[in-house]
């Protein structure tokens, strides 16, 4: 019998938790956690999922697609319109690596302001 585990939190290392939480809050509309501070900030989703951002001294951003500093994880988000979502995320501070492994019409890889790669996918 398998365990019945429910994912309740994802936490990303970063140099500036409030700034990274603000980026994802603007990108997703999730509610800021009321006890967020300079060392640990978070966002709450209505179904209980928590996305956290923890300060790490001497943080080194992932170097995607290379592995000199591995990505360790990446998030994927469905969006209604890839071009519109990409433009808005770039305005918010996301980056767009030159290497794009997917067809342009299916998914795109971006990086958040702390360098974590994430995908936006056509819903």
Distances (CA, A) of 22 to 6, 11, 65, 112, 122: 26, 14, 25, 11, 24
Q: Which two tokens stand for residue 28?
A: 């997703």
- By the 10 Å C-beta count (0-12 exposed, 13-18 middle, 19+ buried), 19 is classed as middle
Give the per-residue pLDDT at 38: 97
Condensed to tens digits (0 to 9), the pLDDT of residues 89-117 reads: 999 999 999 988 876 678 899 999 999 99
Condensed to tens digits (0 to 9), the pLDDT of residues 39-94 reads: 999 999 999 999 999 999 999 998 888 888 877 777 889 998 899 999 999 999 99
DSSP, collapsed to helix, strand or coil, labels residue 89 as: helix
């Amino acid at each position: 019998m398998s365990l019945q585990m429910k994912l309740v939190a994802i936490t990303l290392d970063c140099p500036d938790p409030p700034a990274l939480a603000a980026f994802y809050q603007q990108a997703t509309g999730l509610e800021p956690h009321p006890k967020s501070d300079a060392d640990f900030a978070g966002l709450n989703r209505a179904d209980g999922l928590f996305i956290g951002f923890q300060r790490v001294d001497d943080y080194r951003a992932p170097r995607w697609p290379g592995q000199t500093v591995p990505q360790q994880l990446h998030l994927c988000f469905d969006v209604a319109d890839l071009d519109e979502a990409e433009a808005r995320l770039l305005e918010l501070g996301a980056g767009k690596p030159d290497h794009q492994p997917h067809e342009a019409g299916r998914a795109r890889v971006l990086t958040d302001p702390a360098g974590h790669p994430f995908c936006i996918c056509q819903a």
